[in-house]
């Protein structure tokens, strides 16, 4: 496994953004693990996270895009931190935008905050994880009616490698439907491989019992 993947998994685990236990996901599934970039709480953590995303975007797309979009709410700090890192660390100065969740009845009533997309512009969507693909579909349903864009791709922190409710591969289903690639910094199988019985700061986060719980979950919902 590449060093940057190992470093990213360690970063997720040590910061508490990767947790093991009992969680109910947005999809309704009960999961033995949870990845939540919304749990990063310091400027240093967000700067580090933004650099991981920025490096993934640069490696995948160079500067062949016009702006990044992060869906509210978790995507808002991701978009901002990534845009800052792209400019500061890689010399790629691009726009960023995110959506409002609520419609305003006064002042600036625009749905999108930040860069205002123009027809024909190229967008990279960023978010934290994909389970059944529902959150990404919501992003597309919001963006497509607003302006005619070119969708370069999606960058996510982790691939949970799961099926949709209809039993389809969530990633492939989205890619086939919207004709854009999804790329990840790490996958759940890479997380499992790296963390199994590994001691971080004097503690083993993923022992054989928790590892089996995740594998059983993937046997039911995974692809």
Spot the catalytic one: 30, 62, 101, 104.
104
Clarify whether 106 is annotated catalytic: yes
SS3 69: strand
* Per-residue confidence (pLDDT) for residue 110, from 0 to 100: 79
Is 221 within the bounds of a domain?
no
Spot the catalytic one: 26, 106, 109, 203.
106
Enclosing domain of residue 77: 3-216
Residue holding tokens 């963390």?
Answer: 195
Radius of gyration of the chain (CA): 18
- pTM (2 decimals)? 0.89
Is 223 within the bounds of a domain?
no
The enclosing domain of 196 has a CATH number of 3.40.50.2020
Give the total number of structural domains in the chain.
Answer: 1
Long-range contacts of 76-83 (CB under 8 A, 24+ apart): 77/37, 77/40, 77/46, 78/37, 78/49, 78/50, 78/53, 78/126, 78/127, 78/128, 79/114, 79/126, 80/50, 81/46, 81/47, 81/49, 81/50, 81/53, 82/50, 82/53, 82/54, 82/57, 82/126, 83/50
Q: What is the pLDDT along the chain (223 residues), one digit of tens a residue?
A: 889 999 999 999 999 999 999 999 888 899 999 998 888 999 999 999 999 999 999 999 999 999 999 998 889 999 999 999 999 999 999 999 999 877 655 545 678 999 999 999 999 999 988 877 888 999 999 999 999 999 999 999 999 999 988 888 989 999 999 999 999 999 999 999 999 999 999 999 999 999 999 999 999 999 8
CB-CB contact of 27 with 131 (8 Å): yes
d(CA 129, CA 126): 9
* Tokens standing for residue 78: 């991701």
* Per-residue confidence (pLDDT) for residue 5, from 0 to 100: 93
Clarify whether 104 is annotated catalytic: yes
* Per-residue confidence (pLDDT) for residue 1, from 0 to 100: 85
* Per-residue confidence (pLDDT) for residue 26, from 0 to 100: 81
Q: Which residues pair with 204 in a beta bridge?
A: 199
Is 222 within the bounds of a domain?
no
Is 53 within the bounds of a domain?
yes
H helix or E strand, kind and range, residue 55:
helix 43-61
């Amino acid at each position: 496994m590449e060093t940057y993947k190992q470093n990213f998994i360690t970063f997720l685990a040590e910061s508490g953004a990767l947790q093991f236990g009992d969680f109910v996901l947005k999809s309704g599934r009960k999961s033995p693990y949870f990845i939540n970039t919304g749990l990063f709480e310091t400027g240093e953590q967000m700067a580090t996270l933004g650099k991981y995303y920025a490096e993934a975007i640069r490696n995948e797309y160079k500067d062949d895009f016009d702006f990044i979009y992060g869906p509210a709410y978790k995507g808002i700090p991701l978009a901002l931190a990534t845009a800052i890192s792209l400019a500061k660390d890689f010399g790629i100065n691009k726009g960023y935008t995110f959506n409002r969740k609520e419609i305003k009845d006064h002042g600036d009533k625009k749905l999108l905050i930040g860069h205002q997309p123009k027809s024909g512009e190229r967008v990279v969507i960023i978010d934290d994880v994909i389970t059944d693909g529902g959150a990404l579909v919501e992003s597309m349903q919001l963006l497509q009616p607003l302006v005619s864009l070119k969708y370069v791709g999606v960058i996510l922190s982790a691939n949970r490698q799961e099926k949709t409710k209809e039993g389809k591969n969530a990633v492939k289903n989205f890619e086939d439907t919207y004709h854009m690639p999804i790329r990840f910094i790490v996958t759940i199988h890479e997380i499992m491989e790296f963390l199994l019985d590994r001691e971080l700061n004097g503690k083993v986060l993923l022992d054989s019992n928790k590892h089996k719980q995740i594998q059983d979950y993937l046997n039911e919902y995974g692809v």
